[in-house]
Amino acid sequence: MINSKIIGWGAYVPSRVVTNNDLAKLVDTSDEWIVQRSGIRERHIAAPEETTCTMSVAAAKRALEQASLSVSELDLIIVATSSPDHFTPPVSSLVQHALGAKDVPGFVLTTGCTGFVYGLVTGHQFIASGAYRNVLVIGVEVLSRFTNWQDRSTCVLFGDAAGAVVLQASTQAGGVGAFELGSDGTLAEAIIMPAGGSARPPSLETLQNDEHFIRMNGREVFKFATRVVKASCDRVLAKAGMTYADVDHFIPHQANLRIIETAAEMMQLPLSRFVIVIDRYANTSAASIPLALTEAIAEGRIKSGDQLLMVSFGAGLTWATALVQL
Ligand code: UT7
């Protein structure tokens, strides 16, 4: 049996910090509303010259360094994002070139905020099948470019970031374990960028109607998330023959502190079992879990051998949950 161990991790956040009070100067909102309803205090926003590619490369270099792996040893690059540099070419090719990973295959994986966990599970399949040995999985977003800065119901929620891990084939126990991937397209409209794709190509009308920005039915997504987090964690743990007691740290997608609190309550677990970074970074979509992982390792909170349960939800609507032993 070939396991996929995380041997390197890294994150990158842009240096510019935008506080809730900064946003209160742009739209009709307040620090109090944002903190109470979401737990967000500030977010990092990319500088004009930064892109999904440059941020991916910054996080990937840190993960490769941590893994003591040279770029030439990579077999595959998976970039999970909903905010690529371009529709085409795939941003994975831009990242491959910028990293100097000559001829290494790569692809973009787009499942919204669940992209990183989908990517982790996908990378694991290439390793478990024996096809590849070293897989770079990146979760990255520059959602600030697709945010309507006049829409208070969305612009206060998102932040920019990149996170990356290196997965390596191993005969030792641990690594990516039981998982569940899911999607429910009946709720597709709940998070949508209406125009720009083949269904509604760009036009003067779509630009005038702000149809190239993210629109979200927050309440719908909130209900979905609280429903799916505990249920999916329960199923994954059952598959693995484990219980909550066997999990050292839960790493949930960071969309809203209240969603995490509700899940913890439903699971009858203290909030201290959950890694939470939403206060400092807001919702960084596909980057949120590798960012939280990297932060918690840097703080010495997560250690080698710890059993982690990553659980995510987002556009699609999709969900993705995976047990990972570091
Ligand atoms: O990453 C995965 C995708 N995203 C999510 O998981 C997000 C899930 N949803 C949420 O996090 C929450 O639904 C939000 C934080 C988006 C909103 O919180 P809520 O408690 O569900 O508020 P709401 O949408 O029901 O809005 C309540 C009120 C409304 O006013 P009325 O209709 O009651 O008069 C909104 O217009 O709050 C108003 N509101 C705001 N007020 C001040 C909405 N946004 C703001 C704002 N500042 N930024």
Kindly state the percentage of the chain with pLDDT values over 90.
100
Asked if residue 168 and residue 111 are part of one domain, the reply reads yes
113 is catalytic: yes
| Cβ atoms 316, 188 nearer than 8 A | yes
Report the nearest-CA residue for atom 47 of ligand 1: 29
The pair of structure tokens assigned to 178 is 């039981």
- Among 192, 144, 167, 132, residue whose Cα is nearest residue 60: 167
Phi and psi, residue 27, nearest 5°:
-130, 165
Asked if residue 212 and residue 164 are part of one domain, the reply reads no
Ligand 1 near 143 CB (within 6 A): no
**Residue of 53, 113, 155, 233 marked active site:** 113
Atom of ligand 1 nearest to the CA of 283: 1
Ligand 1 near 221 CB (within 6 A): yes
Ligand 1 near 25 CB (within 6 A): no
| Ligand 1 centroid, distance to 199 Cα (angstroms) | 28
User: Of the residues 126, 144, 173, which one is the last residue of a structural domain?
Assistant: 173
| Cβ atoms 116, 289 nearer than 8 A | yes
Kindly state the helix (H) or strand (E) to which residue 33 belongs, with its residue range: helix 31-38
Asked if residue 19 and residue 44 are part of one domain, the reply reads yes
Asked if residue 166 and residue 27 are part of one domain, the reply reads yes
Asked if residue 203 and residue 292 are part of one domain, the reply reads yes
Asked if residue 191 and residue 114 are part of one domain, the reply reads no
CATH number of the domain bearing residue 139: 3.40.47.10
Q: Which residues contact 33 (CB under 8 A, 6 or more apart)?
A: none
| Cβ atoms 293, 275 nearer than 8 A | yes
Kindly state the percentage of the chain with pLDDT values over 70.
100
* Structural domains counted in the chain: 2
| Cβ atoms 293, 308 nearer than 8 A | yes
| Ligand 1 centroid, distance to 122 Cα (angstroms) | 33
Q: Which residues contact 91 (CB under 8 A, 6 or more apart)?
A: 52, 53, 56, 79, 81, 84, 85, 108
Asked if residue 91 and residue 40 are part of one domain, the reply reads yes
Q: Which residues contact 241 (CB under 8 A, 6 or more apart)?
A: none
| Ligand 1 centroid, distance to 155 Cα (angstroms) | 11
User: Of the residues 129, 158, 173, which one is the last residue of a structural domain?
Assistant: 173
Q: Which 3-state string (H, E, C) describes 104-160?
A: CCEEEECECECHHHHHHHHHHHHHHCCCCCEEEEEEEECHHHHCCCCCHHHHCCECC
Q: Does the pLDDT value for residue 1 go beyond 90?
A: no
Asked if residue 163 and residue 42 are part of one domain, the reply reads yes
Q: Does the pLDDT value for residue 188 go beyond 90?
A: yes
Q: Does the pLDDT value for residue 302 go beyond 90?
A: yes
Asked if residue 261 and residue 155 are part of one domain, the reply reads no
Kindly report, residue by residue over 36-56, the tens digit of the pLDDT.
999 999 999 999 999 999 999
Asked if residue 189 and residue 160 are part of one domain, the reply reads no
Q: Does the pLDDT value for residue 219 go beyond 90?
A: yes
Ligand 1 near 113 CB (within 6 A): yes
User: Of the residues 144, 173, 202, which one is the last residue of a structural domain?
Assistant: 173
Ligand 1 near 218 CB (within 6 A): yes
Ligand 1 near 284 CB (within 6 A): no
Ligand 1 near 283 CB (within 6 A): yes
Asked if residue 224 and residue 205 are part of one domain, the reply reads yes
CA distances from 199 to 81, 111, 223 (A): 20, 18, 27
pTM: 0.97
Atom of ligand 1 nearest to the CA of 23: 48
Q: What mean pLDDT do residues 91-100 have? A: 98
Instruction: Give the residue, out of 32, 40, 141, 222, with the most ligand 1 atoms within 8 A of its beta carbon, to mutate for a pocket test.
Output: 222
Asked if residue 8 and residue 48 are part of one domain, the reply reads yes
Kindly report, residue by residue over 171-184, the tens digit of the pLDDT.
999 999 999 999 99
**Residue 55 to residue 161: CA distance in whole angstroms:** 7
Q: Which domain holds residue 223?
A: 177-325
Report the nearest-CA residue for atom 14 of ligand 1: 218
Overall size of the chain counted in residues = 326
DSSP SS3 for 320: strand
| Cβ atoms 303, 100 nearer than 8 A | no
**Residue 73 to residue 101: CA distance in whole angstroms:** 8
